[in-house]
Chains A and B, each alone.
Chain A
Amino acid sequence: MADVTASAPMTGPQKAGTLTTSDGRPLKAALAQAQARAKRRAFLLVAPLLAFVVLTFIIPIGQMLDRSFHHDGFSKNAPAVSAWFASTPSGTEPDEVAFAALAEDFRSMKENKTAGEAGTRVNYTLPETRSLITKTARNADDLAPPYKEAFLAIDDRWDDPAVWQAMRSSSTAYTSDFYLAALDLERAEDGSIQRVPENSRIYVYLFVKTFLISALITFICLLLAFPVAHLLATLPMAKANLLMILVLLPFWTSLLVRTTSWIVLLQGEGVINDLMISLGFIGDDGRLKMIYNQTGTIIVMTHVLLPFMILPLYSVMRVIPPSYARAARSLGATSWTTFRRIYLPQTLPGIGAGALLVFILAVGYFITPALVGGADGQLISNLIDFHMKNSNWSMAAALSAMLLAGVLVLYWLYDRLIGIDNLKLG
């Protein structure tokens, strides 16, 4: 296309020299037209897939990102007092005008039954404000001038600056509160940002832990999968197929079945502990704790994710010509040198693909840690699940967005260091 536009301003004498088709049109234009038609056809062919991806992937992710900083539960249902907040600077003492605006909002909340929704939003910022708001809305008919006294007659917490600060941060539909909370931060009464009390800090710790455990699982998977994939790639076809079935069978088995089987094997009164006791390795009082803790999470997730490492490795190893290694050996290289300088570099695309697959899957896992992780084997996705269960979708969305950002950063790093073109999945 660029060629055509570039040739458009060409002048007469040059035009005489251009090639034309048999019906006299310039060849470039005819070619461009044919190409455009082919492109349109290609686009129509992928259009259904594109629509599917947009509908099921792009839009939901966009909505999730939107939800992570958008919550209009309070601002929508309390427009009058939100307007007052917008017109006064942070930290302003609420005056009679503010109380009057709030009373107006409460009357409409009572009428439309929206106090629960509004209260839920403020409660995210300051616990126990939900009941304060629903209770005041129930008594909205008692709100008459002078308003401040009327509010204080319902509940003396209406004098508390923390309540007003919480309403102020809830009074805009767009807020960074959920991201702050996801970083273990909060807004103080004067509007400044501070860390939450030490005994409530959890998210930063869990993010770091999730990434570390996922990296560890990826590493163990690589160690275990490499020899297996090599064996698969070098064995005679009949034996390799048999081994392949052993790899694929667990892969096809339901995740829940596999996780439950691990519970049977690993628990305190489980098969492995009983076996070790009957063999005399440990005493009855020395049963190993292999499940309902971090160890359980690592063991079971490694097993569940192992095929995702074996398969890409296998697909790469299968096409490595054995003659390269033989050539290296015949030129005097030791087995270690041959492996390090000839074989390993050729498997890198498979290692990259397997590692990326396992790592990204591990970062988002939640069923397995929930079932076998106990108290200290939980990952960040378990907290996302927790907030979904408690209907705090904005918090769940903020955590998910941060997880997504973390994965994208790693993906970018991978591209910079190894190059995404070197990825080979099969």
Chain B
Amino acid sequence: MKKILILTTALTGFAVSASAQELTVMSWGGAYGEAQTEAHVKPWAAASGFAAKMVDSDNPATPIKAMVEAGNVTIDVASLEYADAIRLCDEGMLEPIDIASLPAGADGTPAADDFLAGAVTECGVSTDIWSTVFAYDDTKFPGEKPSTVADLFDLEKFPGKRGIRKGAKAVLEVALMADGVPAAEVYDVLSTPEGVDRAFAKLDTIKSEVVWWEAGSQAPQLLADGEVVMTTAYNGRIFNAAIAENKPFVIVWDGQLYENEMYAIPKGAPNKDQALEFIKYATSTEGLRAQAQYISYGPARKSALKEELIYKDGKTVMGPHLPTAPENMGNALETSAEFWVDRNAELNERFNAWLAQ
């Protein structure tokens, strides 16, 4: 008994001393978290000599509010969705980041001109542009293949279960596009009650065949298990399954929804100065290019797109796999952060009620 006591005391003491000076980055786990760990966290720690680690969350925006309100912030950098970065910034939960403090592009262009429009906000700096697409299992469709966003909703032509992310965001938009609304008009339509009804009516047509997923890694898993024949997914996750794991998955780019992912610093982060250094490093031209070697999300700097990007296997050219590739932008829609900051609660309430009916 006494031995156990001594042992546990010693272990606790060890645990306390181990958590002292270390930069903690919080991201989404899975293939994406891994890409950021390999491209940003590990090399930054090696270069700066300051220890750094990565922790996972289903959505890093959730714990930030709790931490800031409780005055006990334990993470230094968080990877946030665009709308969340804006919302939390508005509520004073994030440290402001001055665009002038960010490094110039590799070609010398100042950061303010080098980043794509909207890629740097008051509190966040874009790490990449990712998108919600839908993908199918090639072996399930020997004849005609799905090619447009409408095919996701066409149970007659392409029978089988669909995986769709559980939530209103990026689902209502897809439903409207599949119903024939041009990308440019989606948010205008969705701002009206009739437009919302129309999106739900379109979802009604496949409701019985939908498997809903929540974590990003679930989508390729459902496809790999054969539980669904096609699914909405984050394009990088499908890329990873298809290229790194040789799965017969094909992405349909028609009707994709793209947006920036942001690095931000929660207010009161224990290692605030190092956090800013980390973000400067990670969102430099090289940092953004490094991440794109691990996952097919597009860098948000013009200078990072000048040279061809190659996947870590050394042979796959990333260009055509990025959401920002011209051939993928044909019928693409940028997610409106402002729309979702405003309507998230209302539309999700409606969505939850619709799900439970």
Task: Assess A130 versus B349: contact at CB under 8 Å? Given A268-B226, A269-B225, A292-B211.
Answer: no
Task: Assess A113 versus B342: contact at CB under 8 Å? Given A202-B353, A206-B356, A268-B227.
Answer: no
Within 8 A of B (CB), among A192-251: 199-202, 205-206, 209
Q: How far is the CA of A145 from the CA of B64 in the complex (A)?
A: 40
Q: How far is the CA of A370 from the CA of B166 in the complex (A)?
A: 10
CB pair B349 A390 closer than 8 Å: no
Which residue of A has the minimal Cβ distance to B62? A389
CB pair B348 A376 closer than 8 Å: no
Q: How far is the CB of A111 from chain B (nearest CB, A)?
A: 13
Any B CB within 8 A of the CB of A375:
yes
Any B CB within 8 A of the CB of A120:
yes
Any A CB within 8 A of the CB of B327:
no
- The listed residue (A199, A370, A391) touching B214 by CB distance below 8 A is A370
Which residue of B has the minimal Cβ distance to A395? B345
Interface centre among A117, A200, A205, A391, by most chain B C-beta atoms within 10 angstroms, is A391
A side interface size, CB within 8 A: 39
Q: How far is the CA of A376 from the CA of B353 in the complex (A)?
A: 10
Interface of B is mostly: helix
Q: Which chain B residues lie closer than 8 Å to A119 at the CB level?
A: 90
Interface of A is mostly: helix
B side interface size, CB within 8 A: 36
- The listed residue (A205, A206, A269) touching B227 by CB distance below 8 A is A269
Per-residue B-contact encoding for A52-87, CB less than 8 Å = 1, 0 else: 000000000000000000000000000000000000
CB pair B356 A378 closer than 8 Å: yes
Which residue of A has the minimal Cβ distance to B349? A200
Task: Assess A123 versus B90: contact at CB under 8 Å? Given A206-B356, A378-B355.
Answer: no
Q: Which chain B residues lie closer than 8 Å to A199 at the CB level?
A: 200, 350, 353-354
Report the number of A-B residue pairs with Cβ-Cβ less than 8 Å.
Answer: 88
- The listed residue (A128, A267, A268) touching B342 by CB distance below 8 A is A128
Which residue of A has the minimal Cβ distance to B92? A113
Q: How far is the CB of B35 from chain A (nearest CB, A)?
A: 24
Per-residue A-contact encoding for B193-212, CB less than 8 Å = 1, 0 else: 00000001000000100111
Q: Which chain B residues lie closer than 8 Å to A131 at the CB level?
A: 338, 341-342
Q: How far is the CA of A134 from the CA of B200 in the complex (A)?
A: 29
Which residue of A has the minimal Cβ distance to B161? A268
CB pair B345 A124 closer than 8 Å: yes
Residues in B lying within 8 Å of A, measured CB to CB: 58-59, 61-62, 65, 87, 89-92, 161, 166, 200, 207, 210-212, 214, 225-227, 338, 341-346, 348-350, 352-356
